[in-house]
Amino acid sequence: MASVTFSKVGKAFGSTSVVSDLDLELTDGSMTVLVGPSGCGKTTSLRMLAGLEQVSAGTIHIGDRDVTALEPKDRDIAMVFQNYALYPHLTVRENIAFPLRAKKTARAEALRRADEIAESLGLGALVERKPKDLSGGQQQRVAIGRAIIREPAVFLFDEPLSNLDAKLRVETRTELLRLQRQLGITSLYVTHDQEEAMTLSDRIVVMREGRIAQAGPPGEVYRRPADTFVATFVGSPKMNLVDGTVTGGELRTESGVRISVGGPQASSVTIGVRADDLILTPDADGAAVVELVELLGPRAIITVRSADQQLTSVVEAAALTEITVGATVGLSARDVHRFDAATGRRLDA
């Protein structure tokens, strides 16, 4: 077990910079999740830590070892790929035991440990099977088994749940978190799914265009997004953003949107309101009209239109008697985030 430190790490493919000035520390035993849209450099960062991509600038340390120039095999890491990368010619047992072959562990001992791990992952009955005879979820567990048998210093996960169906994804997520906590191995996890990132991480790192947009505990990133990009990327449904002027506790836009927001006067401001914080009040003189109601069970996502702006709100299902498609509603915000309209940066950072 060890901490991981990226210092001023950069990566360019030819003249295209993919990651630049990446400074990141993964504390010992923590689960850090890199999240961001495609092409933001998260997978490249993970692959640089794995040694599968060479860095163009900076250094990477695992513990106090500088691993920047080391081969993957010398970094003491284990990785779970998106497609699991199980060895097709080997059985489940041999797949799990395979990394021990590199450590020159005696075959009988390696297979015995593989059986133990297979058993603990619920794969006990499948050890003789080949990967092609397994379901996606089972293949995933074999890949995890193969990662943990090495007892590595660092675990790397490259979107390991994205090939699973929704139900299995949530189950496996919980299982993965339990396993990581139990083993206490420093982990770096890459995903484009912000919900996965929020639920799994001790620390979430939101990346954009090869740089860190914000890093911190998931709660903090959710509550105090550093800019409009993070604000809209983290949280579902995504945060409502409205550009306008605040006067008399009300946000107004030129096109006629009006939301009661409270707080000090401000001009040229971007106001962010999470869907949970946007309160709809049935009001015949209200500024918005309900366009769409999506029932989720106990709650519903409401899409309203006010002038040229589409906004979303989450309401209790009980409120749906009054909030129906076509109803006119007034808008007020329980909690607002203020961003600079020009730069998108948080104003009270």
In terms of Cβ atoms closer than 10 Å to its own Cβ (0-12, 13-18, 19+), residue 103 is exposed
Residue type, 159: E
Considering the rule CB under 8 A, would residue 107 count as an interface residue with another protein? no
Closest to another protein by CB, 89 or 167: 89
Contact call for residue 13 and another protein (CB under 8 A): no
Could you tell me which of 237, 236, 258 has the C-alpha nearest to residue 249?
258
Query: In this complex, which beta carbon is closest to another protein, that of residue 13 or of residue 87?
Result: 87
Residue 70 binds another protein, judged by CB under 8 A:
no
Tell me if 160 contacts another protein by CB under 8 A.
no
Site string for another protein, 137-156 (x = CB under 8 A): ---------x---x-----x
Strands 31-35 and 186-191: parallel
Span of 49-57, 113-121, 214-222, 282-290 interacting with another protein by CB under 8 A? 49-57
Residue 238 touches another protein, criterion: CB under 8 A: no
Given the rule CB under 8 A, which of 77-85, 191-199, 296-304, 337-345 is the region that contacts another protein?
77-85
Q: How far is the CB of 95 from another protein (least distance, A)?
A: 10
Is residue 57 close enough to count as binding another protein by CB under 8 A? no
Q: Which residues bind another protein (CB under 8 A)?
A: 50-52, 71-73, 77-79, 81-83, 85, 87-89, 98-99, 101-103, 146, 150, 156
